[in-house]
Amino acid sequence: MSEEPTSFSADSYFATQPAPPTLEHDIAGVKEFVARQAKEGRNVVLVTSGGTTVPLELNVVRFLDNFSAGTRGATSAEYFLKAGYAVIFMHRQFSLQPFSRHYSHSTNPFLDFLEIEGSKSGTATPPAISVTHAMRKDLVEVLTAYKSVHAAGTLHTLTFVTVNDYLWLLRALSQELSVLKRKAMYYLAAAVSDFFLPRQKMSEHKIQSGKGSLHIEMDQVPKILKPMVDVWTRGDGFIVSFKLETDEQLLVPKARAALERYGHQVVVGNDLHRRKFEVVFVSRKPLPPLPPGVTVNPIGEETTSSFAESWLRIDIPTSPIVHTNQVKEIEEDIVAELVRRHERWIQGR
Amino acid sequence: MSEEPTSFSADSYFATQPAPPTLEHDIAGVKEFVARQAKEGRNVVLVTSGGTTVPLELNVVRFLDNFSAGTRGATSAEYFLKAGYAVIFMHRQFSLQPFSRHYSHSTNPFLDFLEIEGSKSGTATPPAISVTHAMRKDLVEVLTAYKSVHAAGTLHTLTFVTVNDYLWLLRALSQELSVLKRKAMYYLAAAVSDFFLPRQKMSEHKIQSGKGSLHIEMDQVPKILKPMVDVWTRGDGFIVSFKLETDEQLLVPKARAALERYGHQVVVGNDLHRRKFEVVFVSRKPLPPLPPGVTVNPIGEETTSSFAESWLRIDIPTSPIVHTNQVKEIEEDIVAELVRRHERWIQGR
């Protein structure tokens, strides 16, 4: 791992790094899903969610990871489904998923709210198991939404682990979704590594300790938003990227720089510690005048010559959060705002 | 992050790296648990499980991680409970846990096996929700075991995230458990990083990309097995460590070296790709003669002058695994063997 870092373009990346073995299978599933949604006239959003890993060894034991439980993506996916969108949920394996997110193994462990009815030991039929009375009200809401989404067939789930899986999937799915033209939205909420270790530089076996300190040198992941905007989606996709910073001062300048550089539609900026209560939508130009009959969330747009920023804030819950689904979630408003903007994007065709 | 690597002993580590804020609270809980088990005469095993992280930034966005879903630890904890042990389950946040491990969000997602009974829309009482008939048989077994463990109060769960959390917790818990003398077992199945980044060298904010490649230089985590054997547990603990390798040739030599260096009781060696079907127990000396009435699993012990190795293998399941709890798990035999050895250790007092 002492070689010189290489500079990868998107093209040279895909030319040198191997495609994940499940890619063809995944593409076939998405192709079918997209064709069905197109026929049924739905808008489709690709939601990416969770962090990516960068394996340091071919037989993976150690990897670099990005922090993300997948809350933003999983929550947003639910609100997109509620808004009538079909959702392709492309997420990090074991990160949160829509609906089941309310019952993680740590908060609300589901075994705690199941009870065995009667005791029929000795009989061949297993006893009935039911949800405790106290949990029914919340669970029935989530379960009803979950079952209706499954019946309608509007949610398609795919998983990735490494940043390499992510990049290959994102390119393939963008190309598949481009047939929907402006009716496709791309909601890139995954926390993607900026760095990776090219296959050619990986150690085959577990890196041995006992030889002093560990040195890792990584290359930069290619900037894929530019080819995604210009080539993969052919300029028609409504593309929303996320910018997470811990230094709030950097948020808006970096969001503007990204829009300038890549030419997509919206950057949602969030500060690590305030991301559940406050985000900023940064877009390139003042929004066009509204069509008659359309109303806009009065979130106070500050306009500069070439950028528009809208801050969205919700109240910080003051009582301890017991069940997530009883508390206002900022993703509800983020999705509502983006659905409005996407509608205008479609009409502006 | 360009400073020289420092060499840390266990002492200098704990003198310079901050204790996690929840440590005192965690210790109080364990103290109470251990006192109760001592009174009720149970053996106690500390099971560590899951991987550790090494944060690269103080406001954590990126971290180095070790691969581990926590299967070995969570599964073994269930078999220890079944064998009558009280279990302190110290695991990586969000890694698998005993009982709920059978129903992860990916395999057997639990929302899929719940059904809403009748449709009482319009009424104030939420409808009943029950487990589908097909799933009852498996679930009733797991749920019964789960509820009886909770009723008996024999499982105590603690979480860690970083390697620093892990080291502080391990030291504190070993000290608490040492009051049980030989009745305490330590089953160190967590996948712990060999490297860390001292607090003093961490970047405050998210490391910025756009400046070429990423260089990380890390220090070695101090070897804590030696003080754990000699000081924390005062030579009385029955300590089982794990060695995971991807190069099978290294397994036995490295296990022997660890026993030689640290002086604990057993190393369980496993190869990354065969760990579900094959492990090797490496211990320092030929085992002492068996007390009358005690039988040993006929797993063929090969004895050298100073080390004994016993291979344990189970059949590789040939049919696809649908429900984990219908398939023989190697942890059942690992735990049975260790319980036997622990019994001899207690008698050899």
Query: Is A1 a domain residue?
Result: no
Tens digit of pLDDT for each residue in A219-228?
A: 999 999 999 9
Residue A189, token pair as written in the block:
């909420």
Pairing of strands B266-271, B278-283: antiparallel
CB atoms within 10 A of CB B169: 24
Tens digit of pLDDT for each residue in A37-74?
A: 999 999 999 999 999 999 888 776 788 998 788 999 99
| Partner-chain contact B127 A140, CB within 8 Å | yes
A-B C-beta contacts closer than 8 Å: 192
Q: Which residue of A has its CA nearest to B194?
A: A209
End-to-end CA distance of chain A: 49
What is the pLDDT, as a whole number, of residue B315? 85
Q: How confident is the model at residue B348 (pLDDT cuts 50, 70, 90)?
A: confident
Contact (Cβ atoms closer than 8 angstroms) between residue B335 and residue B76? yes
What is the rounded distance in angstroms from the CA atom of residue A55 to the CA atom of residue A63?
4
Q: Is the pLDDT higher at B31 or at A290?
A: B31
Q: How many domains are there within chain B?
A: 1
Q: What is the mean pLDDT of residues B149-166?
A: 97
Residue B58, token pair as written in the block:
């103080």
A162 touches chain B (CB under 8 A): no
Query: Is B113 a domain residue?
Result: no
Chain B positions touching A62 (Cβ under 8 A) are: 64-67, 193
Q: Where are the beta strands (DSSP E) in B36-172?
A: 44-49, 53-55, 62-66, 86-92, 114-116, 129-131, 155-160
Query: Is A115 a domain residue?
Result: no
Q: Which of A143, A147, A244 sits opposite B61 (nearest CB)?
A: A244
Lowest mean pLDDT among A273-287, A293-307, B241-255: A293-307
Q: What is the mean pLDDT of chain A?
A: 87
Chain B positions touching A99 (Cβ under 8 A) are: 111
Contact (Cβ atoms closer than 8 angstroms) between residue A99 and residue A145? yes
Query: Is B115 a domain residue?
Result: no
Q: Could you tell me what percent of chain A has a pLDDT over 70?
A: 83
Residue A178, token pair as written in the block:
């481009």
Tens digit of pLDDT for each residue in B203-224?
A: 766 666 555 677 778 899 999 9
B315 touches chain A (CB under 8 A): no
Torsional class of A297: left (φ above 0), alpha (ψ -120 to 50), beta (otherwise): beta
Q: Which residue of A has its CA nearest to B220?
A: A213
CB atoms within 10 A of CB B304: 10
Which CA distances in Å does A163 have to A93, A157, B251?
A: 12, 18, 30
The CATH number of residue B67's host domain is 3.40.50.10300
| Partner-chain contact B116 A144, CB within 8 Å | yes
Can you give the residue range of the structural domain that contains A303? 10-110+126-347
Query: Is B219 a domain residue?
Result: yes
Q: What is the mean pLDDT of residues A239-246?
A: 93
Q: How confident is the model at residue B202 (pLDDT cuts 50, 70, 90)?
A: confident
What is the rounded distance in angstroms from the CA atom of residue A81 to the CA atom of residue A70?
17
A1 touches chain B (CB under 8 A): no
Tens digit of pLDDT for each residue in B221-241?
A: 999 999 999 999 999 999 999
Q: How confident is the model at residue A9 (pLDDT cuts 50, 70, 90)?
A: very high
Closest approach of A103 to chain B, Cα-based (Å): 9
B60 touches chain A (CB under 8 A): yes
Tens digit of pLDDT for each residue in A259-293?
A: 999 999 999 999 988 999 999 999 987 555 555 66
B128 touches chain A (CB under 8 A): yes
| Partner-chain contact B127 A146, CB within 8 Å | no
| Partner-chain contact B246 A205, CB within 8 Å | yes
The residue written with tokens 């300029």 in the block is A235
Query: Is B119 a domain residue?
Result: no
What is the pLDDT, as a whole number, of residue A4? 53
pLDDT beyond 60 at A322: no
> In DSSP terms, which residues pair with B187 in a beta bridge?
B47, B240
Using N-to-C axis directions, what is the helix angle for B71-82 and B330-347, rounded to 10°?
60
- 3-class SS letters over chain B: CCCCCCCCCHHHHHHHCCCCCCHHHHHHHHHHHHHHHHHCCCCEEEEEECECEEECECCCCEEEEECCCCHHHHHHHHHHHHCCCEEEEEEECCCCCCCHHHHCCCCCCHHHHEEECCCCCCCCCCCCEEECHHHHHHHHHHHHHHHHHHHHCCEEEEEECEHHHHHHHHHHHHHHHHHHHHHEEEEECCECCCEECCHHHCECCCCCCCCCCEEEEEEECCCCHHHHHHHHCCCCCEEEEEEEECCHHHHHHHHHHHHHHHCCCEEEEEECCCCCCEEEEEECCCCCCCCCCCCCCCCCEEECCCCEEEEEECCCCCCCCCCHHHCCCHHHHHHHHHHHHHHHHHHCC
Instruction: Compute chain A's Rg from CA coordinates.
Output: 22
φ, ψ at A70 (rounded to 5°): 90, 20
Pairing of strands B238-245, B301-303: unpaired
Q: Could you tell me what percent of chain B has a pLDDT over 90?
A: 62
* Stretch (H or E) spanning A46: strand A44-49
Using N-to-C axis directions, what is the helix angle for B71-82 and B133-152, rounded to 10°?
70
pLDDT beyond 80 at B51: yes
What is the pLDDT, as a whole number, of residue A236? 94
Q: What is A125-164 written as a DSSP string?
A: SPPPEEE-HHHHHHHHHHHHHHHHHHHHT-EEEEEE-BHH
Among B237, B263, B238, B265, smallest CA distance to B178 is for B237
Closest approach of A176 to chain B, Cα-based (Å): 25
What is the pLDDT, as a whole number, of residue B58? 78
ipTM of this complex prediction, to 2 decimal places:
0.79
| Partner-chain contact A246 B205, CB within 8 Å | yes
What is the pLDDT, as a whole number, of residue B199? 86
What is the rounded distance in angstroms from the CA atom of residue B94 to the CA atom of residue B272?
21
Query: Is B284 a domain residue?
Result: yes
What is the pLDDT, as a whole number, of residue B234? 93
Query: Is B3 a domain residue?
Result: no
Write the CB contacts of A79 (distance below 8 Å, at least 6 apart in sequence). A329, A331, A332, A334, A335, A336
Residues 88 through 107 of chain A touching chain B, CB cutoff 8 Å: 93-94, 96-97, 99-100, 103-106
A253 touches chain B (CB under 8 A): no
Lowest mean pLDDT among A72-86, A134-148, A321-335, B157-171: A321-335
